[in-house]
């Protein structure tokens, strides 16, 4: 019985096969359905998706065979991968390569074979999608085309999975670098803030640091959910407030009430910036002499117009009666700019005890 010679590009072929990481994987419905369809379309007892390894033939999917691998010595496909893209053997006993193959001899031997190559875009054959039967047979042109099309679908599945895996690895590397860069930048800004003697510079650097923290948390949320540029604003707000609870002075408590609603990442950064500015300023100015206080943040929807409503309030000392809200400090200006990014106007309430800020916006993401 002649044994098939290794492929002329055997090393490159095996390297390509192993890159797909398909060997030894579990059976999957997508591939099982392909072999069932191939067998039904061609009227054969057996159909397999096989890959030719270094010393074996391994089946990703099979119907009518009942095994997951066979030795290369008896493999029909090990001969086929050395030939054309499509091979049809009407009677295996009339083919010198297979006439004395144990799988083909005897009353229960395989007498018919037809298969299309599974090959990479570089033309390297990995295996075949084939159909087999126990009687000699001749396929119709439509049946041959069916095998070719199904073989291309197998490779499309494999290429897509390979691409997604590479994309995920790249995304993980980008995430790692972005996260490290944001952490380094945040540390540098805080270090610069501690080393400066100018109060205005300290405030500016603290504001920049808060913006970096908001962006870092957005990045973390985007990576965790893998939802493209869409953020679940309620969860993001709760995570942001959890961060503030960790650094809050002992005399201040924080509460958060946020509905589930989706917004773009840019919208979430603007919301996070306003929350950051409000909470940071409340920490610094609203509760002098360690007086106890409460900061409340809520994300709701206006029942009248359906717009997203952000409300931040503290019960601290509030602004002085002669404070010019329109001019405001740097923190207030940044909060107003964050609202303006969303096409909203920041409303500041100084009538009641403490300070409250509100704005509403319509997200670019459908509700």
For 190-206, write each residue's pLDDT tens digit: 777 777 777 777 766 76
Do residues 237 and 316 share a domain?
yes
Q: What is the predicted pLDDT for the residue at 219?
A: 59
**Residues 65 and 118 grouped into a single domain:** yes
Residue where a domain terminates, one of 117, 138, 162 = 162
pLDDT at 295: 95
Share of the chain above pLDDT 90, in %: 32
At 176 the pLDDT is: 61
What percent of the chain has a predicted confidence (pLDDT) above 70? 80
**pLDDT at position 327, please?**
44
Classify residue 173: in a domain, yes or no: no
208 with 279, same domain?
yes
pTM over cut 0.75: no
Residue 182 domain-assigned?
Answer: no
69-71 vs 46-52, strand pairing mode: unpaired
Q: Which of 114, 137, 162 is the last residue of a domain?
A: 162
What mean pLDDT is predicted for residues 302-308?
Answer: 90
pLDDT at 136: 92
How confident is the model at residue 299, as a pLDDT? 94
Asked if the model's pLDDT at residue 11 lies above 60, the reply is: yes
Q: Encode pLDDT of 52-73 as tens digits.
A: 898 888 999 999 988 898 887 7
User: 137-148 pLDDT, tens per residue?
Assistant: 999 999 999 999
Asked whether residue 219 is assigned to any structural domain, the reply reads: yes
Q: What is the pLDDT of residue 118?
A: 93
Residues 156 and 206 both lie in one domain: no
In a domain, 183, yes or no: no
Question: What is the chain's mean pLDDT, rounded?
Answer: 82
User: Does the CA dihedral 277-279-280-284 come out positive or negative?
Assistant: positive
pLDDT given for residue 314 in this prediction: 93
The yes-or-no verdict on residue 322 having pLDDT over 90 is: no
What is the tens place of the pLDDT at every residue in 21-47? 999 999 999 999 999 999 999 999 999
Query: Do both 158 and 200 map to the same domain?
Result: no
Give the domain extent around 86: 10-162
Compare 350 and 221 and report the one with higher pLDDT: 350
Same domain, 220 and 88: no
Question: Looking at the domain assignment, is residue 270 inside a domain?
Answer: yes
pLDDT in tens, 102-125: 677 766 788 898 999 999 988 898
Indicate if 105 and 41 belong to the same structural domain: yes
In a domain, 366, yes or no: no
Q: Are residues 246 and 136 in the same domain?
A: no
255 and 341 inside one domain: yes
Residue where a domain terminates, one of 162, 186, 207 = 162
Same domain, 25 and 129: yes
Mean pLDDT of 218-239: 70
17: CATH: 3.30.450.40
Across residues 200-218, what is the average pLDDT?
68
- Tell me, yes or no, whether 26 lies in a domain: yes
* 320 or 355, which is more confident: 355
236 and 120 co-located in one domain: no
- The mean per-residue pLDDT over the stretch 215-234 comes to 65
Count the domains in the chain: 2
Answer yes or no: do 237 and 348 share one domain: yes
User: Domain holding 350: CATH number?
Assistant: 3.30.565.10
- Is the pLDDT reported for residue 329 higher than 60? no
Asked if the structure places residue 156 within a domain, the reply is yes
pLDDT for residue 23:
92
Per-residue confidence (pLDDT) for residue 349, from 0 to 100: 82
pLDDT beyond 90 at 96: no
């Amino acid at each position: 019985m002649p044994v098939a010679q290794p492929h002329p590009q055997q090393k490159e072929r095996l390297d390509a096969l192993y890159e797909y990481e398909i060997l030894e994987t579990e059976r999957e419905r997508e591939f099982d359905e392909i072999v069932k369809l191939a067998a039904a379309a061609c009227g054969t007892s057996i159909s397999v998706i096989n890959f030719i390894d270094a010393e074996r033939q391994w089946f990703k999917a099979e119907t009518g065979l009942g095994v997951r691998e066979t030795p290369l010595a008896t493999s029909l496909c090990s001969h086929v991968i050395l030939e054309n893209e499509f091979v049809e053997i009407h009677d295996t006993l009339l083919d010198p390569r297979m006439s004395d193959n144990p799988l083909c001899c005897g009353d229960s031997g395989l007498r018919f074979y037809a298969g299309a190559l599974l090959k990479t875009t570089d033309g390297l054959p990995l295996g075949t999608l084939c159909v087999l039967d126990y009687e000699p047979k001749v396929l119709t042109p439509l049946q041959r085309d069916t095998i070719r099309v199904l073989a291309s679908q197998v490779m499309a599945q494999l290429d897509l999975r390979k691409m997604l895996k590479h994309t995920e690895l790249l995304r993980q590397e980008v995430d790692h670098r972005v996260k490290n860069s944001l952490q380094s930048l945040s540390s540098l800004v805080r270090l610069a803030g501690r080393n400066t003697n100018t109060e205005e510079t300290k405030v500016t650097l603290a504001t920049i640091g808060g913006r970096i923290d908001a962006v870092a948390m957005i990045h973390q949320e985007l990576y965790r959910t893998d939802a493209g540029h869409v953020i679940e604003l309620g969860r993001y707000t709760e995570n942001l407030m959890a961060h503030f609870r960790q650094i809050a002075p002992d005399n201040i408590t924080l509460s958060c009430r946020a509905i589930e609603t989706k917004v773009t990442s840019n919208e979430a950064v603007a919301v996070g910036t306003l929350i950051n500015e409000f909470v940071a300023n409340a920490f610094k100015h609203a509760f002098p002499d360690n007086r106890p206080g409460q900061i409340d943040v809520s994300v709701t929807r206006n029942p009248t117009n359906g717009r997203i409503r952000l409300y931040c309030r503290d019960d601290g000392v509030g602004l002085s009666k002669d404070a010019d809200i329109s001019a405001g400090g740097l923190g207030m200006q940044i909060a107003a700019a964050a609202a303006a990014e969303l096409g909203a106007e920041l409303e500041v309430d100084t009538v009641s005890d403490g300070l409250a800020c509100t704005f509403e916006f319509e997200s670019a993401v459908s509700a």
